[in-house]
Structure 1
Amino acid sequence: MTTNLRYENIIKKSSDELFSEYSIEELGQIIDKLGGDVNSKKQKLRMLVGNKYRDLLSVADDIMKMDTISTKQNEELTDLIYKKSNYNSKFLINLSRFNNSINDFKLQSLQSENMDKVFYNLVHDLSYLLLCLKNNLNYDDQENETPDESEFDTENPDFEEFVNNYKTVSNHLMNDFVIIAKHIYLIDYFFANLIIANPCSVSVMQLNNSRNEFHHIVEYYVSKLRHESDSDFILNLSLSFIISTKNDADVIDWITSKRLNYFQRLIKSKSTFHDLLNYVYTTIEFINTLKSRLSLLVNRVKSNNASSSWIRQTPFKKWEKWLKTENCDFKIQSSGFIKRNTDEIVNSWKENISNLLVSKFDEELVSSSKNLIHMVTLLKSALISFKNFSSLASLPVGEKNIVNYVIEEWKRMFSTELAVEINEFSVFKNLVIETFNSEEKVLELIDVSEDTFLIDYSRNFSIDYFFEKLHDKKPSNSVFMLLDDFRRDLGSIVTSMESLKALSLLIVKPIISVDDTDDEVFWKNISQTLVRLLETSVEESIFHLSESVNGFFDKLKLEISKGAVSNTRYFYIIRILTELEGKIRLKEFYETLNKFTITNNYPVEMEKSIEELLESCFEFITNSVFESMKPHLNNIFANRLQKEYNEISLWETVDNKHLPTTCSIEINTLLLTFVDSLVKAENSTYADLFTLKAFEKSRIKTISLFVEAIENFVKENRDFDDDKLLITYADYLFLKFMKSDIEEDRDIELLFVERFHMLEDEGYRKKILNMIEENYKKQSL
């Protein structure tokens, strides 16, 4: 069975299949047969290779013999020619020419045959130069990674660190840029045809990648340089750009364009105005350096463009014998590297930069507009930055310079926000008037209060209840919160004015500017502008605030004068008015602002206006309560002559004269009822409000009405007994003590004396007065 076995029949079978089809003995025979076939093939292959190798050695020997014979024949031929020629013989000249021609042909053949290899090695050298350059750059600036587009991404969290950790590079690295540029130029010069003929070859693609990478590094550092000390570096980078690109583009235009692109990204970062202006100033210095030194540097390179010089400076020196370096002409297309009017380019660039700076300022101004202090801080940052770079203060923004534009924009926004903050008082005013006109809202404030506002106070007052009310955030009771907010706004206004005043003084102080320029006249004018701005702001603040506060008082006075409202609403207004001055301290605000300027606007006399409104409120309250009590008062005196007064029996008797010790019980009760009705409304007590000085006028007026009722009673009645007259006199004296007026009213006193002659005795009247005074002091009225 094994004799008919074919290898291809078993190679595809698995071990299980082989064991199922063949026995162990048959499989052993198969293995032996296969081993024999392998050995047989090896022997045949060895014999074949050996034969061919011997043939090869034989051919090599023949070639060596032919070379030896040819060399020997050439030597014999040369000797024969020399023997047959003299010094001037043409045979010798022709032989030399022939020999040189052979050598040139051999050299050309070798150069042509090895052009690809040399090109490959030079491209590899370029890659190595770039690698060394990047490593050295990273070594000098370890904080930064290899230049990459991501470093320009302002969304990159490392961007700020990249901007702040910039370092300049060393001199030898600056020169490396020019050497690499020359290397790229020489590759393009010697291998132009090869590059054109093989655009898709690996070496050409690698060359293009290296070239692009180098240009990117050049552009990266052209954009990145930020110090005056980098002037030499910017020159080398510009020269590298000119050499490596063989481009006659305007270098100034190219550099300003690259730096403008970078500045656009820098603007979006959190860089300060000082950093931004430093970048602008450095760019202008670079442009001045290029204008004065680039032409000289390019001419120096052009005068030193001999092939031996350029090749010695680059890795080409290793491959010089493989290149056709005779009659080389390395040209730099520099005829137009500064093509346009430089001033035109720079002015256009400055306009773009100014617009970007202004947009940056406007953006930050809007973001800080809700806080006047932050707005002044922003203005200070901008102006002090320009003070450090005074030469940049003239950057154009339309028809103005950038500093004046910044101040005007800031002033416009500041005035707007100042008016907004002053107008916050109108929100308070509207809420107070709206609440006062709504009985429901006032009652709601009594039920639920966030502060001590309208909370009923008594000896049983619970502190737990107070805190419960304190944490109740009902929106209807936000009036004091508005006052607190407004007070903070006034504080912000004062602080911003103080900061603005300080800035107006700081801006004229001499400093060591970065650009070594300081226009004293210009900054003095800026300081005066800030002072005028401050004065205007103070005027506007006082005017708008006075207008708003006066409007509040006028509106409140109008609403109060309408009357016909509950006492609870008046208590609401009284509570507001008593807290108003203490909350916003308007007088202190005015006094502070008056330190900055002399204003023609007269501030509100808040204390006087509040006092008048309080007096009006108390007058309405006392009048309403008195009117409710007046029928009871009239009824008392209408029945006095007929009514018996038991309290007379409690009087003392001195020298057979009755001595009243108290007022009548009904008058005392009426007064107690009156006071109770006066200090309470809707089951809430406001006794603490009646200690205010503004209540005094209404208090005296109301007691005078009681006294007037007694006086009318005495005048209208002549026929009543002495005791009724004495108890009426005691009522009169009691009311006099309530008025805190112990001086005698001559008309009433004479009226009582006329009715009761015993009162002519001054000592007797004095005793009655002392007794009533002692009783009055025991009362809670």
Structure 2
Amino acid sequence: MSLVAKLADKSATELFEEYSIQQLQQLKVQLAADVHNKKLELRALVGNNYRDLLKVADDIIQMNDLADQQTSRLSDLTYRKAKYDDKSLRNFNKFFSAVRANDLENTKFRNRQMLLRNIVDHLDFGLQVLRDEVEEMQAETGVYENEDGENSHDSVSLQFVQLAKQFYLTESFFGDELKETSFVVEKFGKMKQEFLQELQTEMANCTGDGDYEFALHLLVSYIFVAQSQILEALEWYLSVRYGKVRDFGLMHDLYICLNYIYNTLSYLTVFCSKLPSTLMRQVHSSANSNWVANTGFRKYSRWLDIPASYKVDFPLPLNELKSIPEKEADKITEKWKIDVGAYLNEQIGTDFAHSKDLEVLSSSLSKVLQSFKKFTSLVAIRYEDSRLVDNLLSVWKSIFFSFLESNVGNFQNISNLILETYGSSEILQSTHTTSGLNLFQYTDLTDIDLYLSQISSPSLYAVDTIVSQLGQFKLTLVMVLDSLQGLSKLSSSLTKQVLSIDDYEDDEYWEKTAVCLNDLVDEGICFVIEQLNKLITDFLKEIGKLVDSGESSPIKHFYIIRVLYQLRENININTIYDQFKRISVSAQKFQTLDLSSMVDELLRKIFKPLVVSISLPFREEMKQMIKKRPTGKYAEVALWTSNESGLPVPNAPSFELENLLYRLSCGLTNVAENPSEDYSDVYFSDTFAEAKLGLVDDLIGCLEIEEQKSDNIDHEEEHVVREEDDIESATERSVDLAAQQKHSIDSKTIALLTFADLVFLNCFKTDPLSETALLDQMQKGVSRKRVETLTEINPDLADRAYTQGICKGILDHFKGCMLMFGPLC
């Protein structure tokens, strides 16, 4: 039925009820276009046949003349004997009919281009209507769903099939015309490509369970338009779907991509079972085989002399439609799976390699395995000679251990930086602080918070970067630990039941994969611990070589001590071991380091030469100080108290010793290479105690050596005096005895002064700081020998009560001024 006949009997109300305003506008434009085309056709017919009409008129005139001549001749025959031959009339009628038929054929031939143009225009309109309906359906539903109405799946999919049939009929009836070059032919070719592209787009977007019938009709439409064989159409379908697979961002849409792959294979199963029967109905059934009568092509059939009993001659014989060759279809499917597997392996492997850290890498593996867990049937997809998932796990493992090696290897960068800084005196000398140990130095206390922060946190400019990197390295180890722990959790989740999308289960495979992940966790733990132990050991050995070389200056010793402090504090190796052991699946044992002991050993090796080097000039000065005492004057003696017996009781060491110890303490925290920096923080470690005790013993040794020399001199002088007594006169003897008595008093005083210094030095070794502990300390080591020597010089020191009073007074003095001596206390 034509469009005019279809609309003629309907009122305006009915039209508005049945069609939208947009559709009515399109119908109006179409009717106007048909009227215009009819006018053009009429004008063309009149123009083309005008001369023929003139010629026919001339023929009629000639025939009239001939008729007059024949009439005249017939009148002459009146008088003759003859019969009328009716065959002449029949021949004339046949000739006239043949002329008219020939003229009709010529007219139809001349109008084929115009007819083709109208058919193409009709196809263009139908294609536009189809696009609009597809867009409207997508806008309304968001996805394809089965629903009744004009824009339902069935309606839209059948429109695809109808348009496909019209494309095929157009190429069938206008094959010669379409070989020419013209605007109509070019437009038809473009429309065909657009229609194929529309089929490709809609086929690629089919994702829902309700799209099976829709996708089947799309595939049928493709077969009709492309005049394709069934296997070729299946290859086209898989190629379209493969192109869509490549559009997914796998790390973000892997689950969606796997769902799409699963739907693709499900659709393919439906196609293999339903496509032959669907094509049979469309091509060979009596109801559908007359494509001209069942499509919009029928209004042009009378111009093409198409018989009413026409049946399409589509190149799909019945024997090919009985069933799809299973083996051939399987080959196509397997090839597609191989292509998909190669693409997934390449893209996911690339995403693994481009992971910025272990957290992202572990998250990527979790997404992959969890996604495949929900589509277990897709695990069968292979890459080369193994399953795709197994190969992805192997690729991930290689990248994972590269990350582990790189992350743990960051410690090598830290050690390189430490050694580089160690060799740069400029950097080591750049550290400074505004507060130091010198209590007599003017300090600005206007900002008490700043002052306290400077005292409690000495400047560590030279190790700031190292401390920062050690902190980052610690965070890196935490991230490594988290990633391994995440693998352990992922392994557990793989053995749990999940709601599989494809209702396919393979518990044996996922248990095997879980075991593989557990082995990977243990292997990763051993790898990390082994690498970490090696790097730390190599670094400490390198530090040990530098210390043993004996070429280091105090400022470098201070730097290394600070570095070792930070290393021990930030790399809590025992905690790291415990954390890794906790997540180990097999709880296997691995070699551990006693980092604290190793650092302490190095610190002891560093402190000893450091203290010896710094204290050397002070020890020499102390030797000279003791050597000069017999000729010196000591004002501090006047400050001594007396006991009940009237004996002097020293209550403080000599001013010289206190000054020397103060300067020595300052020398321990400030070095000539960087006088503005306070290094008192390096002595906070317990490992300095051994070096400090050795230093105090060395200082006590200085007292002992010099006093022994002084005692020998005294005895020699006394011996000389006794010899001279025998030969000198009585007067001279009395003078010498007075001088000797004066010298003896000075020796006792010097002995008391030296004893006070000895007690004061022992205060630095006494722990706990009490009078009893101090007295016990005085009876140990070189101090005991020194006490005995001094007692010989000053017998008063043999009285325990007397010496106890001296110790008490000096201890009280020490408690009041001990802060002056910084690291020595």
After TM superposition, is the score higher than 0.5?
yes
482, 507, 522: which one pairs with 2:509?
A: 522
* Residue in structure 2 matched with residue 432 of structure 1 by the alignment: 418
Kindly indicate whether the alpha-carbon contact (under 8 Å) linking 2:283 and 2:289 is maintained by their aligned counterparts in 1.
no
The 1:243–1:588 alpha-carbon spacing in structure 2 relative to 1, beyond 3 Å, is same
The amino acid across from 1:675 in the alignment is S
173, 193, 207: which one pairs with 1:226?
A: 207
Kindly indicate whether the alpha-carbon contact (under 8 Å) linking 1:445 and 1:476 is maintained by their aligned counterparts in 2.
no
Kindly indicate whether the alpha-carbon contact (under 8 Å) linking 2:462 and 2:559 is maintained by their aligned counterparts in 1.
no
* Residue in structure 2 matched with residue 392 of structure 1 by the alignment: 378
488, 495, 512: which one pairs with 1:508?
A: 495
Structure 2 residues not aligned, in runs of 5+: 1-53, 65-90, 146-151, 716-743, 768-773
Displacement of 1:416: 0.8
Displacement of 1:755: 4.6
Give the total of aligned pairs: 666
Kindly indicate whether the alpha-carbon contact (under 8 Å) linking 2:422 and 2:428 is maintained by their aligned counterparts in 1.
yes
The amino acid across from 1:297 in the alignment is T
* Residue in structure 2 matched with residue 376 of structure 1 by the alignment: 362
Displacement of 1:586: 3.9
772, 775, 779: which one pairs with 1:745?
A: 779
Query: Is structure 2 residue 442 aligned with structure 1 residue 404?
Result: no
The amino acid across from 1:521 in the alignment is E
* Residue in structure 2 matched with residue 661 of structure 1 by the alignment: 651
Matches for 1:515-664 after TM superposition, within 5 Å: 515-597=502-584, 598-654=587-643, 655-664=645-654
Query: Is structure 2 residue 220 aligned with structure 1 residue 244?
Result: no
CA distance in 2, matches of 1:575, 1:635: 34
CA distance in 2, matches of 1:626, 1:641: 25
CA distance in 2, matches of 1:476, 1:691: 17
* Residue in structure 1 matched with residue 12 of structure 2 by the alignment: none
CA distance in 2, matches of 1:613, 1:444: 25
Query: Is structure 2 residue 766 aligned with structure 1 residue 773?
Result: no
428, 432, 438: which one pairs with 1:442?
A: 428
* Residue in structure 2 matched with residue 414 of structure 1 by the alignment: 400
CA distance in 1, matches of 2:235, 2:581: 54
Kindly indicate whether the alpha-carbon contact (under 8 Å) linking 2:380 and 2:387 is maintained by their aligned counterparts in 1.
yes
725, 737, 754: which one pairs with 1:728?
A: 754
The amino acid across from 1:171 in the alignment is D
Q: Report the 3-state secondary structure (helix = DSSP H, G, I; strand = E; otherwise coil) of the residue aligned with 1:141.
A: helix
Kindly indicate whether the alpha-carbon contact (under 8 Å) linking 1:660 and 1:726 is maintained by their aligned counterparts in 2.
yes
CA distance in 1, matches of 2:593, 2:219: 68
Matches for 1:1-20 after TM superposition, within 5 Å: none
Displacement of 1:133: 0.7
Displacement of 1:308: 7.2
The amino acid across from 1:739 in the alignment is K
The amino acid across from 1:757 in the alignment is P
Kindly indicate whether the alpha-carbon contact (under 8 Å) linking 2:203 and 2:215 is maintained by their aligned counterparts in 1.
yes
Kindly indicate whether the alpha-carbon contact (under 8 Å) linking 1:445 and 1:454 is maintained by their aligned counterparts in 2.
no
The amino acid across from 2:689 in the alignment is E
* Residue in structure 1 matched with residue 683 of structure 2 by the alignment: 690
CA distance in 1, matches of 2:392, 2:504: 20
Kindly indicate whether the alpha-carbon contact (under 8 Å) linking 1:429 and 1:552 is maintained by their aligned counterparts in 2.
yes
Matches for 1:146-161 after TM superposition, within 5 Å: none
Q: Report the 3-state secondary structure (helix = DSSP H, G, I; strand = E; otherwise coil) of the residue aligned with 1:312.
A: helix
* Residue in structure 2 matched with residue 259 of structure 1 by the alignment: 241
CA distance in 2, matches of 1:117, 1:300: 33
TM-score (norm 1): 0.77
Matches for 1:49-64 after TM superposition, within 5 Å: none
CA distance in 2, matches of 1:545, 1:514: 44
Judge which range, 329-338 or 413-422, deviates more. 329-338
Q: Give the share of equivalent positions with the same residue, in percent.
A: 22
165, 170, 175: which one pairs with 2:153?
A: 170
The amino acid across from 1:332 in the alignment is F
The amino acid across from 1:629 in the alignment is F
CA distance in 2, matches of 1:539, 1:705: 48
Matches for 1:304-323 after TM superposition, within 5 Å: 304=285, 309-323=290-304
The amino acid across from 1:430 in the alignment is N
Displacement of 1:225: 2.3
Kindly indicate whether the alpha-carbon contact (under 8 Å) linking 2:144 and 2:210 is maintained by their aligned counterparts in 1.
no
The amino acid across from 1:188 in the alignment is E
Query: Is structure 2 residue 118 aligned with structure 1 residue 136?
Result: no
Q: Report the 3-state secondary structure (helix = DSSP H, G, I; strand = E; otherwise coil) of the residue aligned with 2:758.
A: helix
CA distance in 2, matches of 1:212, 1:437: 74
Query: Is structure 2 residue 167 aligned with structure 1 residue 184?
Result: yes
The 1:381–1:508 alpha-carbon spacing in structure 2 relative to 1, beyond 3 Å, is same
Displacement of 1:119: 4.0
Displacement of 1:412: 0.6
CA distance in 2, matches of 1:300, 1:453: 101
Displacement of 1:476: 9.4
Displacement of 1:118: 4.6
Query: Is structure 2 residue 340 aligned with structure 1 residue 357?
Result: no
CA distance in 2, matches of 1:512, 1:272: 19
Judge which range, 357-366 or 201-210, deviates more. 201-210
Structure 1 residues not aligned, in runs of 5+: 1-55, 67-93, 145-164
Kindly indicate whether the alpha-carbon contact (under 8 Å) linking 2:428 and 2:555 is maintained by their aligned counterparts in 1.
yes
* Residue in structure 1 matched with residue 197 of structure 2 by the alignment: 216
Displacement of 1:694: 2.1
Displacement of 1:560: 1.5
CA distance in 1, matches of 2:305, 2:252: 54
CA distance in 2, matches of 1:496, 1:441: 37
CA distance in 2, matches of 1:133, 1:453: 88
CA distance in 1, matches of 2:343, 2:219: 25
The amino acid across from 1:765 in the alignment is T
Q: CA-to-partner distance for each residue in 1:446-500, whole Å, 9 max, x for gaps?
A: 59x9xx9999998448888999xx9x99999633333233233223222322322
Q: Report the 3-state secondary structure (helix = DSSP H, G, I; strand = E; otherwise coil) of the residue aligned with 2:430.
A: helix
Query: Is structure 2 residue 322 aligned with structure 1 residue 332?
Result: no
Q: Report the 3-state secondary structure (helix = DSSP H, G, I; strand = E; otherwise coil) of the residue aligned with 2:642.
A: strand
682, 694, 710: which one pairs with 1:701?
A: 694
The 1:445–1:399 alpha-carbon spacing in structure 2 relative to 1, beyond 3 Å, is farther
The 1:270–1:740 alpha-carbon spacing in structure 2 relative to 1, beyond 3 Å, is closer
Displacement of 1:303: 2.7
The 1:705–1:202 alpha-carbon spacing in structure 2 relative to 1, beyond 3 Å, is closer
Displacement of 1:104: 8.8
Kindly indicate whether the alpha-carbon contact (under 8 Å) linking 2:248 and 2:254 is maintained by their aligned counterparts in 1.
no
* Residue in structure 1 matched with residue 17 of structure 2 by the alignment: none
Query: Is structure 2 residue 270 aligned with structure 1 residue 273?
Result: no
The amino acid across from 2:804 in the alignment is K
* Residue in structure 2 matched with residue 285 of structure 1 by the alignment: 266
CA distance in 2, matches of 1:435, 1:347: 61
Kindly indicate whether the alpha-carbon contact (under 8 Å) linking 1:391 and 1:517 is maintained by their aligned counterparts in 2.
yes
Kindly indicate whether the alpha-carbon contact (under 8 Å) linking 1:679 and 1:687 is maintained by their aligned counterparts in 2.
yes
The 1:191–1:426 alpha-carbon spacing in structure 2 relative to 1, beyond 3 Å, is closer
CA distance in 2, matches of 1:454, 1:221: 83
Kindly indicate whether the alpha-carbon contact (under 8 Å) linking 1:662 and 1:771 is maintained by their aligned counterparts in 2.
yes
Q: Report the 3-state secondary structure (helix = DSSP H, G, I; strand = E; otherwise coil) of the residue aligned with 1:444.
A: coil
Computed over aligned residues only, the root mean square deviation of the Cα atoms, in angstroms, reads 4.0
Displacement of 1:610: 2.4
Kindly indicate whether the alpha-carbon contact (under 8 Å) linking 2:756 and 2:810 is maintained by their aligned counterparts in 1.
yes
* Residue in structure 2 matched with residue 74 of structure 1 by the alignment: none
Judge which range, 552-561 or 106-115, deviates more. 106-115
* Residue in structure 1 matched with residue 479 of structure 2 by the alignment: 492
